[in-house]
Structure 1
């Protein structure tokens, strides 16, 4: 009971410290109590998508941060989102000692002294840890929470749900907390970082189509293929990874006006055996209906219609130890301007 009460006191003190630090003078670093898992520093690597500096996870692949021809992340097709916070291995005993002292290097203010004393007792004075567990160096590592910066800034309560204080984990043991990083959690975090190509379909006619004449639409496999992101973590003997792969499976066409018909009637163009979607127009097919396309029933006048082309991506993952599975499908699309003209006739 005494240990439980001590943990609660530390968490309470950490909250008081956070409130105190908000009132600190401008230019002073926002210090957080390691005992309260309150670190929240922007950064990591370029194009990090909102992870905090404290994360040791490395993301590679189609993240959009390497100058590749990618556009944006997709939207889950169902009510689902990756973890807004999680726990991961962070520090050796010496590293945690340095981190602890750096975070407490702040001006003295009301409430800070008591919080500091409680944290010293907890991590230095043997209640329950002694000198940051330096005698246990090499036998384990300190774990702490990480939150998604963007969701935290948006006020998402889920980003603040990982409030367990910094804890020690022996080598080979699994942390007994919800959202401790696993291959599946890495896969979910990788999902949030996938960047997919722009959904710009090829149209024929290309520049302007005519009323009541079919417009062919397609996506070539060579320009539109699967993408993947790998998330890996190698810290203090914890070495896990997961690769999340998104594969295009269908194209949804929305003409931008109710005065139109789609091919097929559902507007859903499925993927072909060769990985392409739809079929390129070729000479001699003018009298045929396209397997994927649109027929506009009125002109766009002096303007244009906004054709929305949305691709559905099927998502799966594989990870350390043979783990793997499916994640929710994702959708991503964009608008294209389509000019529709009347067919000109000559009256004699």
Structure 2
């Protein structure tokens, strides 16, 4: 058994949290041509998992560390602007977050979903490294590990708002 093998075991045991996103307005209240804000609710932190072996006095350990780096949003239809976009996640005082408040990355659906729905999806890309110890802050080792991905999917209903225009006649011709 090698630290590289333990790092693969730790990697395969790592559970990545789903993206903490919320649509505003809610997924069942979206309207054509009304901007939909993809609100990032809460902060994410690094996730790590340690695999270790203690056999006849030989101790080995490896820790995988997953750091959230990007949030990708996919509207689920070509009839949206933008169809997809990506937010960089930045480290704040309470973890990694995305500033979705003033982003040009919010989705505007251009067509009703009719009697169906669109498959909205948000995904977090995680940069994964590993150390050859039980310390997640130890020096990263090579070879590297593939990126991780966690996904949130939600069906969204987009309706058209109907407006009634009434011509007001003044009666004077």
TM-score interval for Structure 1 and Structure 2 normalised by the shorter chain = 0.7 to 0.9
Query: Structure 2 matches for 1:104-123, cutoff 5 A?
Result: none
Residue in 2 aligned with 1:332?
150
Query: When the two structures are superposed, what TM-score results if normalisation uses the length of structure 1?
Result: 0.42
Residue in 1 aligned with 2:122?
309
Deviation of the 1:319 alpha carbon: 1.9
Q: Size of the alignment, in residue pairs?
A: 157
Residue in 2 aligned with 1:215?
36
Give the Cα separation in 1 of the matches to 2:47 and 2:139: 19
Give the Cα separation in 2 of the matches to 1:319 and 1:256: 41
Residue in 1 aligned with 2:169?
none
Three-state SS of the structure 1 residue aligned to 2:13 is coil
Pair 1:197-2:12 in alignment: no
Deviation of the 1:277 alpha carbon: 1.9
Unaligned runs of 5+ in 2: 167-173
Residue in 1 aligned with 2:8?
188
Deviation of the 1:323 alpha carbon: 5.7
Deviation of the 1:342 alpha carbon: 1.0
Checking the alignment, whether the CA contact within 8 Å between 2:69 and 2:88 is kept in structure 1 is: yes
Aligned counterpart for 1:319 among listed residues 132, 141, 146: 132
Deviation of the 1:199 alpha carbon: 3.0
**C-alpha distance 273-231 of structure 1, shift in aligned 2 (>3 A):** closer
Pair 1:235-2:51 in alignment: no
Three-state SS of the structure 1 residue aligned to 2:103 is coil
Checking the alignment, whether the CA contact within 8 Å between 2:6 and 2:61 is kept in structure 1 is: yes
Give the Cα separation in 2 of the matches to 1:332 and 1:233: 28
Q: Once superposed, what is the RMSD of the aligned Cα atoms?
A: 2.2
* Max Rg structure: 1
Give the Cα separation in 2 of the matches to 1:323 and 1:248: 18
Give the Cα separation in 1 of the matches to 2:46 and 2:41: 12
Structure ranking higher on relative contact order (CA contacts 8 Å, 6+ apart)? 2
Unaligned runs of 5+ in 1: 1-180, 281-288
Give the Cα separation in 2 of the matches to 1:347 and 1:267: 36
Query: When the two structures are superposed, what TM-score results if normalisation uses the length of structure 2?
Result: 0.80
Give the Cα separation in 1 of the matches to 2:139 and 2:67: 19
Aligned counterpart for 1:248 among listed residues 62, 65, 68: 68
Query: Structure 2 matches for 1:1-348, cutoff 5 A?
Result: 181-199=1-19, 201-206=21-26, 207-222=28-43, 224-262=44-82, 267-274=85-92, 275-280=96-101, 290-320=103-133, 324-325=140-141, 326-348=144-166
**C-alpha distance 200-323 of structure 1, shift in aligned 2 (>3 A):** closer
Deviation of the 1:215 alpha carbon: 0.8
